Structure 1
Amino acid sequence: MGSHDCHVFMQRLLPVGIRHLLPKCAEANHLVIQFFSQLTAKTLRRTDMFQLRHDIVQVLCKFEMIFPPAFFTSMMHVMVHLPEEALLAGPASRRAEKSVRNRAKPEGSIVEAWVQYESLTFCGMYLKDVETAFNRPQRNNDGGMRKEKLSVFSQSARPFGDPGRGESFSRNDMEVAHWFVLNNCDEIMAYLDEHEEMMKREHPSHLVAQKQVNKLKSSNSPTYSDELYNLAFGPIRAELFSGCYINGVKFLGAARDDKLCSKTAVSMSQVERKYKH
């Protein structure tokens, strides 16, 4: 019999045949057959899967009242996890047909595919310096946390595409961007508190911070670093990329995003403003 014939025999004809031969098992067998009929359907509903997850426990309890403990092997316990697997991975028929390479012998193709998958999975755990499913980077890998000491330079983000020409900031944009970075760097909060009274709120300027950093540099202070110097003197120009990977999410630039149906050219940073200018 083919695979389809087996399903018809098990789910349609068998309940009728054993109804009079095994009257004690008729109800439990009917519930199991109904369970697999709904589980192997082409279309699954989440509400049905939640109900099956609850019903299969009661079905196994009915079997425990009929059969001895030796009957309940690991294969019987697998039925408890099948509704949860269907909720996570979808219909079983759709997952199985991905492994079919030979349409004339689908069952053998599925078995061979699973043997290959389990063999590669087992061997992949012991292979060194070889890219496997266990050590393969994510598709939208952002490069992880960087090794810079200051938090503002150690954010996980990786731009992609060829960088465009450098865009110069206007004076107003530069001051706003610079202040945004300075006000969100925990390592320099002590300097901001120290010079809070010296900063001119009407005409913001970071010359005080620059003089302080130059003083630390000339005195060979251990708190001085190149990152702190770059942070104090602010940005010079901006590089334009076609997109960026941030926290496993791919963001496209507006020029490329306008051509797509799904919009991803949105990235937001929350900040609390401490000083008013």
Structure 2
Amino acid sequence: MLPEGNEMYRSTYEAKKAFKAMGSGYTKIHACVNNCILYRKEYTDMVACATCGKSRWKVVEQKNKIYNNIPAKCLWYLPIITRFKRLFQSKTTAKDLTWHATERMVDVGVLSHPADSPAWAAINDKYPDFASELRNLRLGISANGVDVNRGNRSHSVWPVLTVIYNLPPWLCMKRKFIMLSLLISGTPGNDIDVLLAPLIDDLQLLFDFGVETYNAYAQEHFKLHVVVLWTINDYPALGTLSGCPYSGFQGCAVCGEDTHCINSLNRISRVMMVIEDFYHMITRSEDKRSKEIIVDELDKLQEELCVTLCLLDKHFPPSVFDVMIHLTVHLTREVKLCGPIFFRWMYPFERYMKVIKGNVRNKNRPEECIAEKNVAEETIEFFSQFLKRVDNVDIPPNNHNNCGIHKGVDSSSITDGTPISAAKLVEVSAELFSKAHFFVLQNTSEVLPYIKRHMEFLEHIHPTKQNAHLEQEHSRERELGACRETITETMRWISHGPNKNIIKYDVYAINGYTFRTKAREGKVYQNSGVSVVATDTHISKEVVTYAKNTYYGVLQEIWVLDYHFKRIPIFMCDWVDNRKGVKRDKFGYTLVELKRLGHKGDPFILASQAQQVFYVTDPLDQKMSIVFKTPPKNYKDTYEDVDEEFSTIVPHNDNILPRVDTLDLQKENDYFRNDCHEGKGQNLSTSLCGE
């Protein structure tokens, strides 16, 4: 079955020994049932806890029986040192681990990666020897509980995860580089520091002394050191890890004893869309560049937030403003210190919790299942890097970059994007066929010089005519003459026109989006919204003007025109009338009336020109739909080459956050409470924060 010279392990025991030799595996450490001590180092041989006296072994109180050699509680530790060293054994990964210093684009005043943050710079300033080695790792630690349902009972497991920030933004938070370091059985409570001891010991060793590591990319040995930048948790877990209160009179971990609070027994539900809008603006930045934050804009956001809270303070009782509302005033401070929020929020780790729950096959032994599955997966993933045509286990394939399923017709010669659905060969009307071919001609770079030459020819033979007349004559001409010796092979094939049989698809991936025709859409998803930026030509009696406009429509059909030497994908859409069907409301949102169609004589665009949008029915006017621009999925490409018109950023809008009336600013105490003693002597925008 296997090639000669290759043998399969005869037992699971032998396979596990091989895993351990390659840096995989885990260590099972006995723990006190009350989390007092770990039975390691000086406590290795003890049979009872030195603090509380509880037995090390499992005790069944109903039977008054002790099961020797069966621990009452265990901690699973997956050593990080060998796994860090293993990262540098892959040339690709070893190169990526220096991206922050070798390939990152540095833009003063812009935060796009933790390496741009003051926290990163503070480490460099305080430990110059550490900063001098580009391969030293900067880490984040996350801990949170997950319920794995042990048998018929609810059972909590606390995974401790490690993430590496040396990597590019599109790899930082991927599952492959989120390392499971510890598995704590049950809820650790305030004694979590005891259970974190094995991990902390290794981190301390790596920081103080380092370990000898081989770099496969540079083909040399070096001393690897690591440092922990921060921890990532939800707010209750932050209180557990830091030992700080997270509720009550001193519930703010930033303000501490200076937290101002009022005791209230009444609580009401909070629907605070303004605060949510602010949070999204923080997480997505003010700048019209994807995944970046302009530092100078953060002060303005902080001021707007504080003013907003003051306005809300006029209308809501004090019980609304609990610690979770108060924490919003520290968001901009956190962004300034640490960089974009998406490197530190809990979403990737919460998704990893779902993976952990899925690894449980035996509900009576959930921790063992999780640890064993993690070891096997990491080992297989490591070996897959040395095999050709094998996808990584923990990095999903890019379905938006020339990959997909091609059925029915060979799609290898398609110029842009990838068809995902089955192909159909159809014949269309001569009128539509002519419009599609003419549109391709107008948007082919090799045809543009001939179009320009025709315009110059019209200007030569009609020197006294106005530009408006020349444009009309130019637009009516559909045949351009050219010398046979001067045209290229591409021009020769395009001039013959495409095959009469049109190839149609229902689903197409291009530009980081997956497009579906309106007929193919389901009830759950919407992928037929299309937008394109085009240059309009406005012809009056004597004047010709040009202007860029954004058009919105719905994708009806996906065509691929076969020009023999290459195939060109185009989209046929129903476009909304830009004059009567598109408007902008006072909040800055674009609204379209999808049933008011226009531009019926020009239904086609190149697939490469299409940008995806999402339409949501306006609750105030059912005829109108609100336009939301969809971020592309190919993050690496958008990081390097960003389309400013269609970025993932929410554009700044002065109307999103309410302004303070000028009369309110003149009357200091008419509306605002004066029982807040924080920030005396400061202006209104900072008095609520105490910063």
TM-score tier (shorter): 0.5 to 0.7
Q: TM-score, normalised by structure 1?
A: 0.56
How far off its partner does 1:9 sit? Answer: 3.5
Structure 1 pair 254–72 and aligned structure 2 pair: CA distance change class (3 A)? same
Structure 1 pair 82–95 and aligned structure 2 pair: CA distance change class (3 A)? farther
SS for the counterpart of 1:107 is helix
* Percentage identity across paired residues of the two chains: 18
Q: Equivalent residue for 2:144?
A: 40
How far off its partner does 1:129 sit? Answer: 4.2
Q: Is the 8 A contact 2:418 2:508 kept in 1?
A: yes
How far off its partner does 1:135 sit? Answer: 9.3
How far off its partner does 1:252 sit? Answer: 1.7
Residue 106 of structure 1, aligned match among 366, 376, 379: 366
Q: Equivalent residue for 1:254?
A: 518
Unaligned runs of 5+ residues in structure 1 are: 1-5, 12-16, 19-37, 44-68
Work out which structure has the larger RCO, using CA pairs closer than 8 Å and 6 or more positions apart in sequence: 1
Residue 167 of structure 1, aligned match among 428, 432, 439: 428
SS for the counterpart of 1:165 is strand
Q: Is the 8 A contact 2:203 2:227 kept in 1?
A: no
**Post-superposition CA distance 1:237-269 (Å, at most 9, x none):** 533222211134222222221x43321123344
User: What letter is aligned with 1:188?
Assistant: V
How far off its partner does 1:204 sit? Answer: 2.0
User: What letter is aligned with 2:204?
Assistant: F
TM alignment of 1:83-94, pairs within 5 A:
83=233, 84=344, 86-90=346-350, 93-94=353-354
How far off its partner does 1:176 sit? Answer: 4.4
Which structure dedicates a bigger proportion of its chain to strand?
Answer: 2
SS for the counterpart of 1:260 is coil
Residue 385 of structure 2, aligned match among 125, 128, 141: 125
Taking only aligned residues, the RMSD between alpha carbons, in angstroms, comes to 4.5
Residue 224 of structure 1, aligned match among 488, 491, 498: 488
Q: Equivalent residue for 1:207?
A: 479
Q: Equivalent residue for 1:54?
A: none
SS for the counterpart of 1:113 is helix
Structure 1 pair 155–92 and aligned structure 2 pair: CA distance change class (3 A)? closer
Report the Cα distance in structure 2 between the residues aligned to 1:261 and 1:157, rounded to whole angstroms: 23
Q: Is the 8 A contact 1:142 1:248 kept in 2?
A: no
Report the Cα distance in structure 2 between the residues aligned to 1:93 and 1:7, rounded to whole angstroms: 25
Report the Cα distance in structure 2 between the residues aligned to 1:70 and 1:269, rounded to whole angstroms: 54
Q: Is the 8 A contact 2:418 2:510 kept in 1?
A: yes
Q: Equivalent residue for 2:417?
A: 156
The reply on whether 1:80 has 2:230 as its aligned counterpart is yes
The reply on whether 1:182 has 2:441 as its aligned counterpart is yes
Q: Equivalent residue for 1:63?
A: none
How far off its partner does 1:42 sit? Answer: 5.6
Report the Cα distance in structure 1 between the residues aligned to 2:454 and 2:32, rounded to whole angstroms: 79
**Post-superposition CA distance 1:110-143 (Å, at most 9, x none):** 1111111111111111113445448984345534
Structure 1 pair 262–251 and aligned structure 2 pair: CA distance change class (3 A)? same
Structure 1 pair 237–89 and aligned structure 2 pair: CA distance change class (3 A)? same
Structure 1 pair 137–166 and aligned structure 2 pair: CA distance change class (3 A)? farther
Q: Is the 8 A contact 2:423 2:503 kept in 1?
A: no
SS for the counterpart of 1:207 is coil
Report the Cα distance in structure 1 between the residues aligned to 2:425 and 2:412, rounded to whole angstroms: 26
Q: TM-score, normalised by structure 2?
A: 0.25
SS for the counterpart of 2:387 is coil
Report the Cα distance in structure 2 between the residues aligned to 1:125 and 1:42, rounded to whole angstroms: 31
Structure 1 pair 143–169 and aligned structure 2 pair: CA distance change class (3 A)? farther
SS for the counterpart of 2:388 is coil
**Post-superposition CA distance 1:144-189 (Å, at most 9, x none):** 9x998xxxx733343521314222241xx45544443333333332
Say how many residue pairs are matched.
208
Structure 1 pair 188–9 and aligned structure 2 pair: CA distance change class (3 A)? farther
Structure 1 pair 244–92 and aligned structure 2 pair: CA distance change class (3 A)? closer
SS for the counterpart of 1:240 is strand
Structure 1 pair 109–120 and aligned structure 2 pair: CA distance change class (3 A)? same
Report the Cα distance in structure 2 between the residues aligned to 1:111 and 1:70, rounded to whole angstroms: 19
Unaligned runs of 5+ residues in structure 2 are: 1-30, 37-50, 53-141, 148-200, 208-225, 234-343, 405-410, 459-469, 545-691
Q: Equivalent residue for 1:194?
A: 453
Q: Is the 8 A contact 1:184 1:271 kept in 2?
A: no
User: What letter is aligned with 2:530?
Assistant: S
Structure 1 pair 131–115 and aligned structure 2 pair: CA distance change class (3 A)? same
SS for the counterpart of 2:514 is strand
SS for the counterpart of 2:515 is strand
SS for the counterpart of 1:187 is coil
Q: Is the 8 A contact 2:425 2:501 kept in 1?
A: no
